[in-house]
Amino acid sequence: MHTRFATAATASVLISAPIMASSNASFQSVGLLPGATSTFVYSMSADGNAIVGRSGTTAFLWTPDSGILGLGKLTPSPGDISSSTAQTISADGTVIAGQNLINMPDCPCTDAFAVRWTAPFTTIEALPGLSNIDVSSNVYDITENGSILVGQSRGDDGAGRSVRWSGSTIELLLPGQIFEVGVVWSIADDGSVALGQGSGQYWVASAPDFTAEIMMVPTQLIPFVKQLSPDGSLAVGSSLSSSTRATLFNHATGTATVLLDCVPGNDAATDISADNSIVVGTRATGQSPDALIWYDIEQCAMSIKDRLTNEFGLNLAGWELSEAVAVSADGTTIAG
């Protein structure tokens, strides 16, 4: 459903609170797989009860009942090294997808396979790519029931192309279009809207023909956006003017709303709830980054750590909440 990228060694955490506005709130670490020293959360199911990402060099699934479980890797040839990442999980929690790298030191070279796990998540499946010569594919997002996956696959000419997988079939999402060479970052839960990037532009394409159109934004803003809302009507990310600010994009009207943050610094929005009312993200200042939440696009962002400690009385000593990467459909569970 929602795919995000972390870039520093960290512990991943789960925060639960009914719109973070009642007397009940919880905070817990997702944990580590055996031998791992870091865990990264990339995606969450709609109900917030399934979280996926990477711990050490292995993709994982976390649930409240089972905790953190390794999803395995593709088996490499002798001497080669395999690592897997779960990039996204379907809203209903039944399908997980991502990438598996096979590093071949003797080349030296690396093959990148798009992969999928289907409940009960006991087997990793390599998905086909556009090329059997230069293997490089990745899944970035998935529809609600997991039937359609989107991302990028490299062709024999070495160019990455916008693709989708249905079942075990790969196809170009934008064949013959100017944005064929590019990447699909996100897809709506029902598969009706896709968001991608190519030729230096962000584009939006809608079913049934998926004719891509440049995502219109005010001319004074340079957009950075990779995530659609669950219904596909909005997108979240950031825009660059005098600074980088969290932004809500309405591709139907060509408008962009810069979200308020009353603390100086650069910030970005990373995810949005199903009713488009709750936005989460991160703020980068001269000090430590800070995980943020917006309850109202006309009100300033709130620090999630400050809210949990000052209003809910949680003891978060020793923790820095640096980035909120995913929010559940109802806005009550946040992962980062």
Cα pseudo-dihedral 144, 147, 152, 155, rounded to 10 = -170
Q: Beta strands 109-118 and 95-104: pairing type?
A: antiparallel
Averaged pLDDT of the chain? 89
CA–CA dist 60, 39 (Å, integer): 9
213-267 pLDDT tens trace: 998 887 777 889 989 999 999 999 998 887 898 999 998 888 889 898 888 778 9
pTM over 0.95: no
d(CA 7, CA 5): 7
According to CATH, the superfamily of the domain at 217-312+320-328 is TolB, C-terminal domain (2.120.10.30)
Report the SS3 class of residue 307.
helix
Residue 3 reports pLDDT greater than 50: no
| Distance, CA of 66 to CA of 45 (rounded, Å) | 15
Highest mean pLDDT among 91-95, 176-180, 310-314: 91-95
Nearest to 145 by CA among 97, 178, 79: 97
- Give me the residue label for tokens 């990467």: 325
Residues 6+ apart with CB under 8 A from 160: 136, 152, 153, 154, 181, 182, 183
The 10s digit of each residue's pLDDT in 197-206 is 998 889 999 9
Q: What is the average pLDDT across 113-126? A: 97
d(CA 204, CA 74): 33
Dihedral sign, CA of 280, 11, 263, 18?
A: positive
Q: Are 215 and 227 in contact (CB under 8 A)?
A: no
Whether 84 contacts 114, CB under 8 Å: no
pLDDT per residue over 64-98, tens digit each? 999 999 999 999 999 999 999 999 999 999 999 99
